[in-house]
Amino acid sequence: MDKPLVGIIMGSDSDWSAMQRCVETLKQFGVAFEAHVMSAHRTPERAATYAAQAEERGLKVLICAAGMAAHLAGVIAGHTTLPVIGVPMKGGAMDGLDALLATVQMPGGIPVATVALGNAGATNAAVLAVQMLALSDAGLRAKLHAQKSAMEAKVAEADAKLQTLL
């Protein structure tokens, strides 16, 4: 098995239903990853150690999914210089708004790239990680270009179908 380049961390196993899309997307691009459940609040030392050791273990990008207070991505970012992508999860009293705000509102010097809530965010986090890796990998760049072309063709096909209905 290839050495993982992306680390996926979920604050709870309930995040898996959305984060499966992240995993599927990374697999489609052929990017090796690892995935874990750990919590900024319930396993803070484990999360800090994971983040601090990620670079020396060869990881290049970290993706963190969490709901409600959603401190996981910020805690991870505070312990590494690797890029961190936060995926706020839907749910709770504010249906994900609290997670979105907690993920995006980071102090200066501790960036967390924040994507959309839930399913779309999980997919976009994987694509963003691939884009970061593609800066130094021509094969991944080619796959990204092919993906864009396929999306464009799908929209053109939908438009052509619509035109036959008018």
pTM of the model as a whole: 0.95
Same domain, 156 and 88: no
The model's pLDDT over 85-114, given as tens digits with 9 standing for 90+, comes to 999 999 888 999 999 999 999 999 999 999
In a domain, 74, yes or no: yes
Same domain, 74 and 107: yes
Same domain, 129 and 100: yes
- In this predicted structure, the answer to whether residue 115 has a pLDDT above a threshold of 70 is yes
Same domain, 84 and 148: no
pLDDT level of residue 69 (50, 70, 90 thresholds):
confident
What is the percent of the chain with per-residue pLDDT over 70, rounded to a whole number? 99
- Report the mean per-residue pLDDT for the chain: 96
Same domain, 78 and 97: yes
Same domain, 23 and 74: yes
The pLDDT value given to residue 1: 58
- 3-state secondary structure (DSSP) of residue 64: strand
The pLDDT value given to residue 45: 97
CATH code for position 125 = 3.40.50.1970
In a domain, 46, yes or no: yes
**What is the rounded distance in angstroms from the CA atom of residue 166 to the CA atom of residue 162?**
7
Place of tokens 């691939």: 130
Place of tokens 């072309």: 149
Range of the domain at 149: 139-166
The pLDDT value given to residue 105: 95
Same domain, 122 and 150: no
The model's pLDDT over 18-68, given as tens digits with 9 standing for 90+, comes to 999 999 999 999 999 999 999 999 999 999 999 999 999 999 999 999 999
Same domain, 115 and 152: no
Q: What burial letters (b/e) apply to 54-89, b meaning 16+ CB within 10 Å?
A: beeeebbbbbbbbbbbbbbbbbbbbbbebbbbbbbb
More confident residue, 70 or 157: 157
- Evaluate whether 102 touches 74 at the Cβ level (below 8 Å): yes
In a domain, 98, yes or no: yes
In a domain, 1, yes or no: no
Q: How many domains does the chain have?
A: 2
Same domain, 53 and 131: yes
Q: Dihedrals φ, ψ of 6, to 5°?
A: -120, 135
Same domain, 145 and 83: no
